[in-house]
Structure 1
Amino acid sequence: MLDNLPRGTICIEDIEMGMTRYLRKQVTDKDIEMFAEVSTDHNPVHLDDEYAQDTIFEGRIAHGMLTAGLISAVIGEQLPGHGTIYMGQNLKFLAPVRPGDMVYAEVKVIDIEISKRRVKLDCHCSVDGKKVVIGEATVMAPSRKFD
């Protein structure tokens, strides 16, 4: 029964072309530090102001995969949501995200294969209206038939 599914779940039977979901999150110094710990990526461009000033970015930037992780959050929490299985993702990083930036992450349904429970999603992240990450994800959506 639909009412008993975890909050945020949209089953394959209810997904429609063009359906869109998003989130907004401000990337903080603490986010960057925690991501460095979890990922073990301690590249100083993310953590050391002095080092980062001498790079092409002229200052610290967030890990690209931290930003891309916001796409995963939209997919796992909203569209399709809880019970979704990630099958693939391609990404292109267009611009850096800096500490303090407000990131808007959005996914949009661009293809549905109901018989295989497959959903293709156009994905992007932007800061101040400028796209910083673009890509497509393929996921397996939950189904009421497999409750």
Structure 2
Amino acid sequence: MQSEISFAEIAVGMQFSYGQTITDADIKAFSGISGDKNPVHMSDEYAEQSRYKKRIAHGLMSASYFSAIFGMKFPGPGCVYVAQSLKFLRPVYIGDTVNAIVTVTAIDEAKRRVFFETVCKVKNKNVISGEAEIYIPLSK
């Protein structure tokens, strides 16, 4: 997945994506890393009684796919996350394929900052929306 794009090559409208199918193992691993063991993520019995009727993935797990794009694909290694806003719109279930998409909306050349619209989709429906700001180091 690794790709590198120089700061000079970045243009408004550029778009990159990353997709991953959510598994039970992913949810358990994220729970261990984050410390979030909410039973709506971890317990079938609990989740069946919830408004979702089955276990849901952690929202921040799906949102972390933006980091995969920024750090590995676009703009690539060396960039630094500065800010991210998130709005969680729909649940993500085990077996769903989450497609994270970032689109360049603005560039601040003086500060070497790039601004993005960020969205995660499942079956072409938005499950997360937001905005991100990334700093691009001089080496790029």
The normalised TM-score by structure 2 is 0.95
Cα RMSD between the aligned structures?
Answer: 1.1
Q: Tell me the amino acid that sits aligned with residue 12 of structure 1.
A: F
Q: Would you say the 8 A contact 1:13–1:114 is kept in 2?
A: no
Report the Cα distance in structure 2 between the residues aligned to 1:11 and 1:141, rounded to whole angstroms.
9
Q: SS in structure 1 opposite 2:110?
A: helix
Match of 1:81 among 61, 66, 76: 76
Q: SS in structure 2 opposite 1:58?
A: coil
How much has 1:134 moved relative to structure 2? 0.3
How much has 1:142 moved relative to structure 2? 3.3
Q: SS in structure 2 opposite 1:134?
A: strand
Residue of structure 2 in register with 1:96 after alignment: 91
Residue of structure 2 in register with 1:21 after alignment: 16
Report the Cα distance in structure 2 between the residues aligned to 1:75 and 1:28, rounded to whole angstroms.
23
Q: Tell me the amino acid that sits aligned with residue 92 of structure 1.
A: K
Residue of structure 2 in register with 1:33 after alignment: 28
Residue of structure 2 in register with 1:66 after alignment: 61
Q: Residue by residue, what CA displacement relative to the aligned partner does 1:45-99 show, whole Å, maximum 9, x if unpaired?
A: 0010000111111110000000000111111111111111000000000000000
Aligned residue pair count? 139
Residue of structure 1 in register with 2:115 after alignment: 120
Q: Tell me the amino acid that sits aligned with residue 54 of structure 2.
A: G
Report the Cα distance in structure 2 between the residues aligned to 1:116 and 1:13, rounded to whole angstroms.
13
Once the two structures are superposed, the pairs formed by residues 123-138 of structure 1 within 5 Å of their partners are 123-138=118-133
Residue of structure 1 in register with 2:41 after alignment: 46
How much has 1:106 moved relative to structure 2? 0.5
How much has 1:115 moved relative to structure 2? 1.4
Divergent runs of 4+, >3 A: none
Report the Cα distance in structure 2 between the residues aligned to 1:9 and 1:89, rounded to whole angstroms.
21
Once the two structures are superposed, the pairs formed by residues 2-21 of structure 1 within 5 Å of their partners are 7-21=2-16
- Percent identity between the aligned chains? 42
Q: Would you say the 8 A contact 1:10–1:142 is kept in 2?
A: no
Which structure 2 segments of 5+ residues have no match? none
Which structure 1 segments of 5+ residues have no match? 1-6
Residue of structure 1 in register with 2:105 after alignment: 110
Q: SS in structure 2 opposite 1:57?
A: coil
